């Protein structure tokens, strides 16, 4: 995994890049956390490309930006981030067409694939990636993002070209960009939505998943090369379960390829346990075991655990049961409330995110600290992320009131607050009433919901619950999963850890999306297909465990520390977040009897304040 950035200007000549070099260096430097192993730049007449490398495959030969040359002429240049898991098959096919390779990297395969098949080469790629291809022959840039949007890619159109980067911070480092967020951008941040293409910053866009953007002298053109389609499912239940397992075996096997230490993220839930168990089998078959696994825990969490409707059981005992079952080399990363409230850690999370997106409360900081600890021992980690979206794992998939609500089901279920802990204040509870009226969060969310609903593909004659559950699945696979993938990418790449997500393989996503809902819940539970497909590699207590999301700290010292920080902000007349606050409501959170009722709202306020202090961002509200 890596960090990419670049600058295309048809009005400038970068062949003598004295002035441009400092700017490109500054843009590239912002991506150093994503690529701690090496950095490089490339300049052409109208193109300046930057790269920071996290070396995972072909450590010696994969330096970037990488180019293809023939007869002393540069044909194509790329700055590339990600992994193409079928690169070995593609390489063999390209060699049969006469292509000659000088490295063992998947990056070079992508270059030659474009030269062989043109823009349609995207349909042949299996993986997670975001990259730019500059063609000096036509003076055109092609930006490409993977089908599910696992890897981020942002762009900022200029009158004479474009800026792009893996993260907004790379673009914000360019002097032509003035960071500003308007009311729509702030609503996107607060409303717990993830609108494809929306970057929150004015003038900046995120390349939507499954899209390319071609930049020419005449402007920028978006093209969608992949989307979920509605197809008739003809397999019976047994065949479906077998096919899901066959896909998972192939997917996990491909994603075990790395020239650096590899591990799994293990919570003890069905998703991460299935990935860990299949990885253990794959490594053992290759004579490369045992698998390494890591879990996050909090001081005293298991001993003092308090069940609630969202989290009925602690993770620890189940993670340990799976680790013992597959004989993994397992480690618990144990965090304390003080770790989660340390200013340096919270600042690091906001720096990684570029914006105060949250909704996961202390989970944002704990995830960062988990990855930071893992990175000391591994460079690549396999995650169970996205299984809930693919197989229908969340509680609200199975609650008729949430399923049939005229909004995003996670919004109806109050997920923005519930993921951060079981409390009722609401993320926006401490924001100024006038500001909330201007943002119109309910209206904004409603508009985004109906836009998303209009995109859902349907089979002819599909009605009733089957039609609605196809809609629910599509909403999760195109909207909700983006929140989680973005969160995981930023937290992991902030410490130079590559996280792979096998459940996002587009073949699995397409197949399960078109499997009837009755088949996805054939045993009367969530994720029936996944449980049936992997039960043979799991201990019974793990296979039968009730869904429990990423853990949230229950230590009362954490809520007390939040109140202390909120008091500091309210006492600071110059705090940049103060104009956005309902100070009377905020003051009501400072008493001990306020408990955790406004925990998620307090976290949002503190994130906003830190973000505004760290970034010279104008709020144009």
The residues carrying an active-site annotation are: 2
- In angstroms, rounded to a whole number, what is the distance separating the alpha carbons of residues 105 and 91? 10
- In angstroms, rounded to a whole number, what is the distance separating the alpha carbons of residues 418 and 433? 23
- DSSP secondary structure letters along 274-322: HHHHHHHHHHHHTT--PPEEEEEEETTTTTT----SS--S-SHHHHHHH
**Are 79 and 141 within 8 A, CB to CB?**
no
Q: Cα-atom radius of gyration of the chain, to the nearest Å?
A: 24
- In angstroms, rounded to a whole number, what is the distance separating the alpha carbons of residues 205 and 211? 13
**Are 291 and 283 within 8 A, CB to CB?**
yes
Q: Is 446 exposed, middle or buried (0-12, 13-18, 19+ CB in 10 A)?
A: middle
**Are 487 and 364 within 8 A, CB to CB?**
yes
- In angstroms, rounded to a whole number, what is the distance separating the alpha carbons of residues 104 and 102? 7
**Are 56 and 379 within 8 A, CB to CB?**
yes
DSSP designation for 173: T
Cis peptide before 501 (omega within 30 of 0): no
Q: Which residues pair with 332 in a beta bridge?
A: 295
The packing angle between helices 362-375 and 343-353, to 10°, is 90
- In angstroms, rounded to a whole number, what is the distance separating the alpha carbons of residues 418 and 426? 9
Beta-carbon contacts of 545 under 8 Å, excluding residues fewer than 6 positions away, are: 268, 269, 270, 313, 318
Which of 403, 22, 16, 30 has the alpha carbon at shortest distance from 4?
30
- In angstroms, rounded to a whole number, what is the distance separating the alpha carbons of residues 330 and 263? 9
**Are 615 and 347 within 8 A, CB to CB?**
no
Beta-carbon contacts of 375 under 8 Å, excluding residues fewer than 6 positions away, are: 495, 496, 497
The packing angle between helices 316-326 and 270-285, to 10°, is 20
Q: Kindly report the length of the chain.
A: 621
The torsion angles phi and psi of 327, rounded to 5 degrees, stand at 55, 45
For 466-482, give one letter per residue: b (16+ CB within 10 A) or e.
eebbbbbbbbbbbbbbb
Which of 37, 21, 105, 35 has the alpha carbon at shortest distance from 67?
105
């Amino acid at each position: 995994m890596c960090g990419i950035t670049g600058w295309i200007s048809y009005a400038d000549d970068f062949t003598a890049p004295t002035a441009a070099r400092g700017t490109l260096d500054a843009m590239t430097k912002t991506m150093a956390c994503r690529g701690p192993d090496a950095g490089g730049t490339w300049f052409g007449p109208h193109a300046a490309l930057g790269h920071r490398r996290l070396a995972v495959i072909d450590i010696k030969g994969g330096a970037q930006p990488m180019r293809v040359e023939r007869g002393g002429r540069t044909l194509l240049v790329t700055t590339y981030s990600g992994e193409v898991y079928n690169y070995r098959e593609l390489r063999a096919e390209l060699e049969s067409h006469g292509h000659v390779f000088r490295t063992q990297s998947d990056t070079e395969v992508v270059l030659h694939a474009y030269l062989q098949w043109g823009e349609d080469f995207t349909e042949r790629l299996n993986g997670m990636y975001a990259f730019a291809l500059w063609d000096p022959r036509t003076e055109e840039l092609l930006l490409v993002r993977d089908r599910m949007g696992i890897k981020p890619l942002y762009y900022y159109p200029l009158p004479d070209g474009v800026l792009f980067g893996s993260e907004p911070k790379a673009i914000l480092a360019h002097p032509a960009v003035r960071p500003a967020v308007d009311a729509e951008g702030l609503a996107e941040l607060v409303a717990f939505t993830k609108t494809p293409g929306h970057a929150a910053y004015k003038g900046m866009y995120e390349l939507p998943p499954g899209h390319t953007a071609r930049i020419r002298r005449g402007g920028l053109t978006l093209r969608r090369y992949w989307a979920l389609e509605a197809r008739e499912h003809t397999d019976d239940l047994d065949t479906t379960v077998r096919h899901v397992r066959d896909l998972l075996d192939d997917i996990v096997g491909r994603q075990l390829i790395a020239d650096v230490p590899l591990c799994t993220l293990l919570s003890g839930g069905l998703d991460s346990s299935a990935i860990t168990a299949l990885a253990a089998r794959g490594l053992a078959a290759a004579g490369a075991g045992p698998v390494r696994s890591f879990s996050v825990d909090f001081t005293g969490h298991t001993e003092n655990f308090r069940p609630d409707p969202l989290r009925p059981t602690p993770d620890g005992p189940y993670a340990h049961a799976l680790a013992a079952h597959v004989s993994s080399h397992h480690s618990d990363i144990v965090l304390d409330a003080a770790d989660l409230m340390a200013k340096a850690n919270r600042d690091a999370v906001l720096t990684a995110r570029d914006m105060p997106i949250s909704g996961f409360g202390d989970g944002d900081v704990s995830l960062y600290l988990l990855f930071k600890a893992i990175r000391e021992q591994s460079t690549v980690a396999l995650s169970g992320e996205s299984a809930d979206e693919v197989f229908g794992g969340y509680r609200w998939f199975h609650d008729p009131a949430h399923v049939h609500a005229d909004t995003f089901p996670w919004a109806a279920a109050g997920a923005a607050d519930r993921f951060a802990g079981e409390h009722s204040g609401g993320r926006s509870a401490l924001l100024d009433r006038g500001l909330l009226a201007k943002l119109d969060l309910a209206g904004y969310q409603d508009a985004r919901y109906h836009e998303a609903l209009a995109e859902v593909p349907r089979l002819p004659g599909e009605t009733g619950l089957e039609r609605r559950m196809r809609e629910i699945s599509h909403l999760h696979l195109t909207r909700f999963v983006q929140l989680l993938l973005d969160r995981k990418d930023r937290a992991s790449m902030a410490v130079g850890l590559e996280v792979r997500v096998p459940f996002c393989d587009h073949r699995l996503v397409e197949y399960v999306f078109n499997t009837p809902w009755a088949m996805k819940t054939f045993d009367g539970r969530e994720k029936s297909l996944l449980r049936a497909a992997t039960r043979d590699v799991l201990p019974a207590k793990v296979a039968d465990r009730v869904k429990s999301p990423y853990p949230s700290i229950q230590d009362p010292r954490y809520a007390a520390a939040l109140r202390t920080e909120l008091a500091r902000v309210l006492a600071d007349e110059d705090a940049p977040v103060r104009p956005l606050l309902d100070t009377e409501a905020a003051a009501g959170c400072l008493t001990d009897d306020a408990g955790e009722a406004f925990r998620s709202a307090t976290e949002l306020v503190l994130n906003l304040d830190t973000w505004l202090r760290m970034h010279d961002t104008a709020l144009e509200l």
